[in-house]
A and B are shown apart, each in its own frame.
Chain A
Amino acid sequence: MNTKRGHQAEGETIMGQTASSQAGTLESNDIFIRMTQVPEGGESSVNVESIVMKQFGEDIIKTITQCLEDSGLKGVNIRANDRGALRCTILARMEAAITRYKESIK
């Protein structure tokens, strides 16, 4: 196998230049969370896709937003792909994502 890495489309968000992290998986009953830094001075945003959006979408967004607020992080874009995770799972994944995000800033 060669070790060449794929060409980064649009070239501006290459790892190391901006903080980012991810946690979770795309398996059933889990949630996959990606956090990326918003360019200079931008507001935080939370973007959720879920297989149970109709039933629990609002709850999921509220849970994630609360975690983000508690973390004290500003200017973060969160994208979550939810596959029916329980609240405790979402909290655990958010904690992991936030910890990793803070590490990626250092």
Chain B
Amino acid sequence: MVLQGFRAIATRQELSEAEALLRASGLSMPDGIDTGIGFFEDGRLGGTAFLAGATICGVCVDAAHRGRGLASSLVGRILSQALVDGIRRVCIFTKSNEAPKFASLGFQLVASTEKAAMLEFGEPDYAAWSRRTAETLQQSRRTMPKHSGGRFGAVVVNANPFTLGHHALVAEAAARCAQVVVFVVEEDASSFPFEDRLELVRRGASDLKTVVVVPGGPYMVSRASFPAYFSGREAHAAVHAEMDARIFATRIAPDMGIGIRFVGSEPYCPATATYNEVLRRVLPEYGIAIEEMPRQCAAGEIISASEVRRIMRDGNLPSRIPELERLVPPSTLQFLLSDKGRSIAENLRGKTGRH
């Protein structure tokens, strides 16, 4: 008799078994997983599916068990688990040839590239986000200074935290468009929580009357959340950038009537430089202009949020105020010196990473 069934992947032993299973299929263990479900046969792991935040990842079935519909069962189970946990919408990044399988389970395709596809299940879905965002834009257009036509521009920022560099980019965009939409990356993979980043952008850009700041939803895909799934043999940064660019070009820009996107040039970080390069290639394919702005400098140095975080990490913020004043607007500085800002600095001291 063969004993088989589905249950949570719980022990360290099972986790390392899962890692071996994924590795055998050329996949790596996803980061930041919250739950995992496995298919076990006689105590041996034959298939896996994981949930990291609201993303399903690490879906893999051992070669010996394929063709039995196990992947669907695993995905269905992890999905139920997510819904029970109160996550009403989940997404999955997969290879584009696997997308139809998930579509047949009821997942909706958000966008796809040659290599990858992003699908989602549940609500609020893309349609809901897009409707709400379009409404916000409509409303704000009514209260904006009258303009004589012209196109709508977009800037996407993580703003971790909002700096004078961000401000300069948004201001330049505003000077050249009838309205500028600033999408704030919603993924909580940064030192500053999303709600605070959004608020800092809103306050920091409040002097620009034709600028609307909106949450980016799960559709401004952050690199941190994009699964290392694709890192095995393909260049992770390029696949990620392509996905994000296609979502923007095929869904968001047409739905919001955006004709031009502004990005800051990137002299240091190779991943961001790749990202800008991909945007420059993809957006014009869909008739969207792209403008790369030189980065704003202070005291001969390029202003960057990572520099701000470095100063926070060093500690003793009040003594660094003159330095910070050259990097961030007063609203951000005020936040950095608040209790919340202090506790973020505290956390930063505990780690060293890009985010």
Taking a contact as CB atoms under 8 Å apart, the answer to whether B34 and A9 are in contact is no
Taking a contact as CB atoms under 8 Å apart, the answer to whether B54 and A9 are in contact is yes
Taking a contact as CB atoms under 8 Å apart, the answer to whether B129 and A5 are in contact is no
Interface 1/0 per residue, A1-38 and B, CB below 8 Å: 11111111110011110001010011110001010100
Most buried by A among B85, B105, B128: B105
Closest A residue by C-beta to B189: A7
Check A7/B188 contact, CB under 8 A, given A27-B72, A28-B69, A49-B106.
yes
Taking a contact as CB atoms under 8 Å apart, the answer to whether B86 and A8 are in contact is yes
Near B by CB (< 8 A), chain A positions 39-55 give 49, 51
- Residues of chain A lying within 8 A (CB to CB) of residue B33: 1
Taking a contact as CB atoms under 8 Å apart, the answer to whether B83 and A26 are in contact is no
Name the prevailing secondary structure of the B interface residues.
Answer: mixed
- How many angstroms from the CA of A4 to the CA of B225 in the assembled complex? 14
Near B by CB (< 8 A), chain A positions 50-89 give 51, 79, 81, 83
Taking a contact as CB atoms under 8 Å apart, the answer to whether A32 and B76 are in contact is yes
Known: A2-B34, A10-B215, A10-B217. 20 other contacts (CB 8 A): A1-B15, A1-B34, A2-B32, A4-B34, A5-B85, A6-B55, A6-B82, A7-B186, A7-B187, A9-B89, A13-B88, A13-B124, A15-B85, A15-B86, A25-B80, A26-B75, A34-B122, A49-B106, A81-B105, A81-B106
- How many angstroms from the CA of A9 to the CA of B35 in the assembled complex? 19
Q: Which of B32, B55, B124 contacts A10 (CB 8 A)?
A: B124
- How many angstroms from the CA of A74 to the CA of B51 in the assembled complex? 33
Query: Chain A nearest CB: distance from B160 CB in Å?
Result: 15
- How many angstroms from the CA of A28 to the CA of B160 in the assembled complex? 45
25 contacts between A and B (CB under 8 A): A1-B35, A5-B86, A5-B87, A6-B51, A6-B82, A7-B186, A7-B194, A8-B54, A9-B54, A9-B129, A9-B218, A10-B128, A20-B88, A22-B80, A22-B83, A25-B80, A26-B73, A27-B76, A32-B106, A34-B83, A36-B88, A36-B123, A49-B106, A51-B104, A79-B123
